[in-house]
C-alpha cells in the first residue's frame, strides 16, 4: 500500500519542526572537515511546488511555513532553516518547499555523501530527477529500513540518519524504533532523527517504552501539539526522537518551541522537550 504523498503536506507545522531540527543537525555536522553520510530512509520527492494541486488542495503549508517565512521576530536558532527556505524562493514569495533531500543538498559537501531511499513510483521519479546533477547523492527505490542497516557504519564513522515514515501502516511505529535499536548496535555514535505523528497517544507511548527498554543512550524527545490528544481521527501533534543530538540542540529547541507555539499554535497548543534517555 503506497498511497501517502508528501506533496499534500509539504511545509506544514510538522515539516517546520522536523526540517528546522534537520537543518541544525546538518549544519553542526559540517563544522568538522571530516566527511559524513546522510541517510534518508523515506525521502519523498526532494522538492515540492506549493502552487501545485496537491499543496493547494490541503493548504497545510499556510498553517506552517507560510506563517513564519516573512516574520521579523525569528529566533536565532530558527534562522538557518528560514534562510534556507528563502534561498529557494524569490524574496518573500513562497513557491517552493524542500523535502528532506532538498535540505540535505544544501549541506552535503565534496567529502560527504547522501543515500536516499524511496518506494513510491511517482516520488522516486521526482527524486531521481531532483538529484540528477547532484553527484554526491545515491538514490534507490528500495526499502529504507533495510537501506539504513546496509550502509552503517559509514567509513568515516560520522553519519546522520533521518527516518520519516508515512505511518500508513501501524507497524511503522515499532519498525522504525526497532531499526534504530539494530542500527545503534552497529553504529552507536551516529545521529538518528525519527519523526512521528501524534495520532493515537498509546502508539507514541509504545515507542517511548521501546526506546527506554533498549540499549540506546542519549535520546532527546521533542513534541509540538497543535491541539490536545483526542480519540478522534487526525494528527494533533508532531514529534521527533533524536539519538545523539548535537550538544546545543536542546537549548536551540528551547527557543524554537515557544515561538512555534506562538506562531503556529492554537489556544490549547503545547510542547515538550525531554531528555528521554541520558548519555
Report, as residue numbers or ranges, the catalytic residues: 164
Q: For residues 159-198, which are near ligand SAM according to CB under 6 A?
A: 164-166
- Beta-carbon neighbour count of residue 178 at 10 Å? 14
CB of 57 to ligand SAM, least distance (A): 17
Place of cell 531511499: 117
d(Cα 13, Cα 101) in Å, to the nearest integer?
Answer: 18
Nearer to ligand SAM, 39 or 68 (CB): 39
Residue 70 touching ligand SAM (CB under 6 A): no
Q: Which residues make Cβ contacts (< 8 Å) with residue 169, sequence separation at least 6?
A: 1
CB of 177 to ligand SAM, least distance (A): 15
CB of 150 to ligand SAM, least distance (A): 12
d(Cα 256, Cα 264) in Å, to the nearest integer?
Answer: 11
Question: What track of x and - describes contact with ligand SAM for positions 21 through 40 (by CB under 6 A)?
Answer: --------------------
Minimal CA–CA distance to 142: which of 118, 164, 115, 165?
A: 118
Question: CA torsion, points 138, 135, 49, 159, in degrees to nearest 10?
Answer: 50
Nearer to ligand SAM, 35 or 46 (CB): 46
CB of 48 to ligand SAM, least distance (A): 8
Q: Which of 16, 21, 35, 42 binds ligand SAM (CB under 6 A)?
A: 42
Minimal CA–CA distance to 4: which of 85, 137, 99, 110?
A: 99
d(Cα 146, Cα 149) in Å, to the nearest integer?
Answer: 5
Nearer to ligand SAM, 4 or 36 (CB): 4
d(Cα 145, Cα 231) in Å, to the nearest integer?
Answer: 29
Grid coordinates of 211 = 526506546
Residue 64 touching ligand SAM (CB under 6 A): no
Q: Which of 44, 64, 245, 246 binds ligand SAM (CB under 6 A)?
A: 44
Residue 99 touching ligand SAM (CB under 6 A): yes
Nearer to ligand SAM, 77 or 103 (CB): 103
Minimal CA–CA distance to 127: which of 114, 139, 136?
A: 139
Question: What track of x and - describes contact with ligand SAM for positions 109 through 138 (by CB under 6 A)?
Answer: --------xxxx--x---------------
Nearer to ligand SAM, 100 or 238 (CB): 100
Q: Which residues make Cβ contacts (< 8 Å) with residue 230, sequence separation at least 6?
A: 236
Residues that bind ligand SAM (CB under 6 A): 2, 4, 6, 41-44, 99-100, 117-120, 123, 143-145, 164-166
Amino acid at each position: 500500500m503506497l498511497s501517502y504523498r508528501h506533496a499534500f503536506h509539504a511545509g506544514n507545522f510538522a515539516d517546520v519542526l522536523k526540517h528546522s531540527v534537520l537543518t541544525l543537525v546538518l549544519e553542526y555536522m559540517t563544522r568538522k572537515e571530516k566527511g559524513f553520510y546522510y541517510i534518508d530512509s523515506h525521502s519523498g520527492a526532494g522538492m515540492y511546488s506549493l502552487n501545485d494541486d496537491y499543496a493547494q488542495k490541503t493548504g497545510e503549508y499556510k498553517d506552517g511555513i507560510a506563517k513564519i517565512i516573512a516574520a521579523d521576530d525569528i529566533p536565532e536558532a530558527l534562522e538557518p532553516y528560514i534562510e534556507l527556505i528563502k534561498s529557494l524562493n524569490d524574496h518573500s514569495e513562497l513557491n517552493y518547499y524542500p523535502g528532506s533531500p532538498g535540505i540535505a543538498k544544501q549541506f552535503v559537501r565534496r567529502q560527504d555523501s547522501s543515500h536516499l531511499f524511496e518506494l513510491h513510483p511517482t516520488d522516486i521519479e521526482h527524486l531521481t530527477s531532483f538529484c540528477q546533477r547532484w553527484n554526491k547523492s545515491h538514490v534507490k527505490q528500495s526499502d529504507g529500513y533495510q537501506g539504513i542497516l546496509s550502509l552503517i557504519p559509514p567509513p568515516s564513522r560520522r553519519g546522520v540518519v533521518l527516518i520519516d515514515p508515512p505511518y500508513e501502516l501501524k507497524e511503522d511505529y515499532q519498525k522504525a524504533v526497532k531499526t534504530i535499536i539494530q542500527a545503534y548496535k552497529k553504529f552507536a555514535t551516529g545521529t538518528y532523527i525519527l519523526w512521528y505523528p501524534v495520532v493515537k497517544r498509546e502508539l507514541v507511548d509504545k515507542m517511548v517504552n521501546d526506546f527506554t527498554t533498549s540499549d540506546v543512550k542519549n535520546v532527546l524527545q521533542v513534541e509540538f501539539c497543535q491541539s490536545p490528544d483526542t480519540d478522534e481521527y487526525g494528527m494533533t501533534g508532531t514529534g521527533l526522537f533524536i539519538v545523539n543530538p548535537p550538544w546545543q540542540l536542546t537549548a536551540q529547541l528551547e527557543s524554537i518551541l515557544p515561538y512555534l507555539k506562538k506562531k503556529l499554535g492554537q489556544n490549547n497548543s503545547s510542547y515538550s522537550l525531554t531528555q528521554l534517555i541520558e548519555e
